[in-house]
Amino acid sequence: METKKKVLIIDDDNDFCIATKLILEKDGYEVFIAEDGRAGVEIAKSVSPDLAIVDMMMETWSEGFNVVAKLRGSDATKDIKLIMLSAVDLHGPYDEPSVPPEGAPRVDLVLAKPIKAPELIRYIGNLVGKSA
């Protein structure tokens, strides 16, 4: 039987989760949603996704970084590929929140929202490959 690659979306914007989920499901991924950082870490532990998409700003400006730190800090979740997403303009030197805190663990990719469907699929495909 074909096993689908699993993607976890951690974002407090439910609509964004749904939009992204539909894109990824159409492309053959199994998708899980967590609407806050804590739930994100829990679900990551229980379903062991291949990749997680983490929103930078949730309850707090830097909640995304906390989530990343927790995922990278636990043996069970440290190998999950991570994409960090932010609605903050990442091109300018203007938004302090977009600067990772000193010593923040690395993510595999940082992308700006909104993200074009073909691009998102290509990036995720590059990181984890399609369904195995």
Partner 1 sequence: MTGKEKPALILIIDDEESIRDGCSQTLSKWGYQVITASDGDEGIRLAREKVPEMAFVDLKMPGMTGMQVMEILADIPDIVLIVITGYASIISAVEAMKKGAYDYLPKPFIPDQLRAVAQRGIEHRTLKIEAKKLREEKELFQKGFITFVSHEMRSPLVTVLQYIETIKMLAEGSMAPDMLEIIERCSVRLKNLEDLVSHWLDITRIEDGTFSTHKEPVDLKGVIAEAVDDLMPLCEKRGIAVETSVPQDLPTIMGDKDSLLRVLTNVIGNATKYTPSGGSITVKAAYDDYYVTVSIADTGTGIPPDKLPFIFEPFYRVKGKEERYRGSGLGLTFCKMIMDAHNGKIEVSSKEGEGTRFVLKFPR
3-state SS assignment for residue 112: strand
Q: Which is nearer to partner 1, 77 or 98 (CB)?
A: 98
For the chain, percent helix, then strand, then coil, each to nearest 5?
40, 20, 45
Q: Which is nearer to partner 1, 30 or 61 (CB)?
A: 61
Q: Which is nearer to partner 1, 67 or 71 (CB)?
A: 67
Tell me the closest approach of the beta carbon of residue 112 to partner 1, in angstroms.
Answer: 9
Tell me the closest approach of the beta carbon of residue 31 to partner 1, in angstroms.
Answer: 12
Q: Which is nearer to partner 1, 13 or 30 (CB)?
A: 13
Residue 66: left if φ>0, alpha if ψ -120 to 50, beta else—which one?
alpha
In the complex, the residues that contact partner 1 under the rule CB under 8 A are 13, 15-16, 19-20, 22-23, 26, 57, 61, 87-89, 91-97, 113-118
Q: What strand order describes the sheet that includes 6-10?
A: 30-34, 6-10, 51-55, 81-86, 109-112
Distance CA 65, CA 114 (A): 19
Tell me the closest approach of the beta carbon of residue 34 to partner 1, in angstroms.
Answer: 17
